[in-house]
Amino acid sequence: MYDLVIVGGGPAGVAAAVYAARKRLKTLLIVEEWGGQSNVSVDVQNWIGTPSITGIDLAKNFRTHVEKYKDNFLEILFPARAASLEPSEQSVTVILKDGKRHEAKALLIASGARRRQLEIPGAKEYDQKGLTYCASCDGPLFADKDVAVVGAGNAGFETALQLLAYCKSVTLLTRGDSFKADEVTVAAATANPKMRVIKNAELLGVVGEQFVTGLRWKSKENGKEETLPVEGIFVEIGLLPNTEWIGKALEMTEFNQIKVDPKTQRTWHPRIWAAGDATDGLYHQNNIAAGDAVKALEDIYMSLRRSQPERP
């Protein structure tokens, strides 16, 4: 029986594992992939304490850091994939894809999320060659360039606001004739003279040479096809939480994000916590995921210590 099982090898999972090891909780860290979503970023510039690092190197640093604590208290399973979950009043059991079962007094879910992919011709070919899913990570690389944003929700307009600070121009394209974003956010972005919005746009393909040079689209109103000349394309069409393996064991939002108490990161189940992009937190970034995981770990530690009998 472990004190704690942690599922996830991104910033949340690794941060929690380091803290758990330092507190000498008997912990099992289950990792399918190191690094989380930033693993595909060419240049991460917002990881605190590190001005610039590739996503691959950041993932390596995560692994190196947590493996320094690997001992009698911390065990790491890699590669391993959680397949299902069986909670009870006294413990939680995680079942892996290979059928092995691991029981603990507490569970921290940090399985993250994946970006909803843009599925048009050229999108895969130019991924990380001008097309990106992380403005916070890659945005500054496009300073003084013309860029496009795909997506009309809050994430799309917030990305546009961020890019407007340093890009030459920002064009946001949406397939509908209205926006899903808050009116205040839309107003702030569209007030900028460098901002352009194209509604009723059907995306046809990403074009380029070695890197992106444009985005082909067709007007749903008149059927006219055009190529928007841009050097960067930022895709913000939603996140897909990696929570399918949880099934109906926990309370979820309509978007399959785990509902947590923001003060403690605890779920409705008293022995399960969650942190990072798998949760219903308002914002999702590497630093936020790590902070939420540390918050969860502190609460887990206190919860486990309170449940232990007093020494004579």
Active-site positions read 134, 137-138
Q: Which residues of 46-73 are buried (b: 16+ CB within 10 A; e: fewer)?
A: bbeeeeebebbebbebbbeebeebeeeb
DSSP conformation class of 53:
B
CB 274 within 8 A of CB 293: no
CB 74 within 8 A of CB 22: no
In one-letter notation, the amino acid at residue 9 is G
Q: Which DSSP helix (H) or strand (E) runs through 15? A: helix 11-22
- How many CB atoms neighbour CB 282 within 10 A? 8
* Cα angle: 127, vertex 128, 132; to 5 degrees: 80
